[in-house]
């Protein structure tokens, strides 16, 4: 079992819709959770971080964490073509606070 799992996609949504991106992780001791956006050929950019169960909202983005189910998600409301990118889930855990990345989900927002 991979430490951080994501569906590679592509996930296609129409412009204006809600995009839902999902991630599961294997280490129950994981402490911090991050979502990065990566445009093709560019570096990952941090867009959300979440540390406790529940929802965290920032503009059109909402991160959701459920530690009991070992599940973290990212919702993008009112999706725009400029949101088309690969979204990486990252999980921090362990004594050395190691961060493990998922392979990323490619999102395509169709105009």
Partner 1 sequence: DADVTQTPRNRITKTGKRIMLECSQTKGHDRMYWYRQDPGLGLRLIYYSFDVKDINKGEISDGYSVSRQAQAKFSLSLESAIPNQTALYFCATSDLQGNYGYTFGSGTRLTVV
Point out which residues bind partner 1 (CB under 8 A). Answer: 8, 32, 34, 36, 41-46, 49, 51, 88, 90, 92, 96-99, 101-104
How many angstroms separate the Cα of 65 from the Cα of each of 15, 100, 103? Answer: 25, 16, 19
Q: How far is the CB of 17 from partner 1 (least distance, A)?
A: 26
Q: Are 53 and 73 in contact (CB under 8 A)?
A: no
User: C-alpha angle with apex 24: 87 to 49, nearest 5 degrees?
Assistant: 55
Of 67 and 92, which CB lies nearer to partner 1 in the complex structure? 92
Q: Are 76 and 58 in contact (CB under 8 A)?
A: no
Of 90 and 107, which CB lies nearer to partner 1 in the complex structure? 90
Distance between CA atoms of residues 85 and 30, nearest Å:
26
Of 88 and 109, which CB lies nearer to partner 1 in the complex structure? 88
């Amino acid at each position: 079992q991979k430490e951080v799992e994501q569906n590679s996609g592509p996930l296609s949504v129409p412009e204006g819709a809600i995009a839902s991106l999902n991630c599961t992780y294997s280490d129950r001791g994981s402490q911090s959770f991050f979502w990065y956006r990566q445009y093709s050929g560019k570096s990952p950019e941090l867009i959300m971080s979440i540390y406790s169960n529940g929802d965290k909202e920032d503009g059109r983005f909402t991160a959701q964490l459920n530690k009991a189910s070992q599940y973290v998600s990212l919702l993008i409301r009112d999706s725009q073509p400029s949101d088309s990118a690969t979204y990486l889930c990252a999980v921090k855990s362990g004594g050395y606070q190691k961060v493990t990345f998922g392979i990323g989900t490619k999102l395509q927002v169709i105009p």
